[in-house]
Structure 1
Amino acid sequence: MNMSNDANQAATPNGIPGLRGSDHIGFTVPDIEVAHDFLTRILGATFVYKLGPYPKGPAIAEKLEISPETTMQEIRFYRLHTGVNLEVFQYDAPDQRMTVPQNSDVGGHHMALYVDNLNAAIEFLRSQDIEVLGQPTQSSGPSKGQEWAYFKSPWGMYFELVSFPNGKAYEKHADTILWDPRNPNA
């Protein structure tokens, strides 16, 4: 189903006017070179450009709600296949917390990545010494048809692999379906 921009706006009358979707996901890493290696070599992201450093001070501190003593060392931008762009930060901050939140913590998060073959993807991650958590799980209920498994980046950020080559159960009767990475223009 291909909607024109006008039709898409008419179909979503609530929320921020003109909102079209996700542009990027931003996250902070302890070592931008380690992150670069992981993002390009393991995830296959394409490095696009970098910015920084940005000096500490009240102007940036107010905009980002960070300590005025924080220096934004570098920002790097990546394109992740047909999905979202990534904005990766490395800061030098006197009050920086280095503990990655668990999924159950407030602010806990993960990034899910669609793969065509879950077992092949897991085998690749393990061959690269990437920690995969447990064995693949078969979803049930509305998500039946999906398999998933979590893994961790070298700095401890959670990622998830998902695969549903034949779709998910809920799609058969849904008026609206989730955006589908198998068909990104639909």
Structure 2
Amino acid sequence: MGEIKEPRVPTLRAVDHVAYTVPDLDAAVAFFVDHFGAELIYRDGPFRDEDGEGMRRRLDVDPKAQCTIAMIRIGKHHNVELFEYEAPERNTRLPRNSDVGGHHLAFYVDDIDAGYDYVRSIPGVVVQEGPNGVDPQAPVAGQRWFYFKSPWGMQLELTTCATDGFYQGLPAAAQARPAATWR
């Protein structure tokens, strides 16, 4: 463990982006831009396939679906693609973290208490219990964190580590620290 292995996919260099489906693209973009300093890189669509099966073949969605997308950049390197779909019989219930497909997007902060107070002030956000700490003997000793939900229910997290213990306790391959500055 800790040994960095060569990628198996030829010419693989990095994670390019993560993507989330949201119920209202404008509201989601505004949420990340206004509260997390995201930058809107581009917006495109709507896309649909008038000929039939292209949406199913390419995206595994209903053939009659249409989508609009936005790419935002959070910090220096993290691209997040947001999709808004219109589709027959689409499921609008977000999975819980314990459900298959459950997820969350985590942000590193230097001051978890200030972050907690700020997130609690955002209209429509539901903040879970926190900030929480971890066992001092855990590999992530010194970490504090809390989860919250966006106004549309997406799971998010703020996390910090008061000491470098968060990284020192992890295998060398996992010791990628957050950037010193946001941009």
Query: What TM-score, normalized by structure 1, do the two folds share?
Result: 0.85
For residue 60 of structure 1, what is the amino acid of its counterpart? Answer: M
Q: 1:92 to 1:138 in 2, by over 3 A?
A: same
Q: CA deviation at 1:124?
A: 0.7
Q: 1:173 to 1:96 in 2, by over 3 A?
A: closer
| Residue of structure 2 in register with 1:71 after alignment | 66
Instruction: State which of 84, 98, 105 in structure 2 corresponds to 1:104.
Output: 98
Kept in 2: contact 1:103–1:110 (CA 8 A): yes
1: CA distance, partners of 2:11 / 2:108: 27
| Residue of structure 2 in register with 1:53 after alignment | 46
Q: CA deviation at 1:135?
A: 1.5
Q: CA deviation at 1:22?
A: 1.5
| Residue of structure 2 in register with 1:149 after alignment | 146
Show structure 1 runs of 5+ residues with no match: 1-9
For residue 159 of structure 1, what is the amino acid of its counterpart? Answer: L
The total of aligned residue pairs comes to 174
| Residue of structure 2 in register with 1:133 after alignment | 128
Q: CA deviation at 1:46?
A: 0.7
Q: 1:172 to 1:154 in 2, by over 3 A?
A: closer
Q: CA deviation at 1:173?
A: 7.4
| Residue of structure 1 in register with 2:165 after alignment | 168
- Post-superposition CA distance 1:141-174 (Å, at most 9, x none): 1011111100111110100111014223562574
SS of 1:52 mapped into structure 2? strand
SS of 1:122 mapped into structure 2? helix
Q: CA deviation at 1:16?
A: 2.1
Q: CA deviation at 1:182?
A: 3.7
Q: CA deviation at 1:84?
A: 1.2
2: CA distance, partners of 1:175 / 1:36: 35
Show structure 2 runs of 5+ residues with no match: none
Query: What TM-score, normalized by structure 2, do the two folds share?
Result: 0.86
Kept in 2: contact 1:171–1:177 (CA 8 A): no
Kept in 2: contact 1:146–1:167 (CA 8 A): no
| Residue of structure 2 in register with 1:6 after alignment | none
SS of 1:159 mapped into structure 2? strand
1:44 lines up with 2:37 in the alignment: yes
| Residue of structure 1 in register with 2:156 after alignment | 159
| Runs of 4+ deviating beyond 6 Å | none
Identity across matched positions, percent? 35
Q: CA deviation at 1:183?
A: 5.1
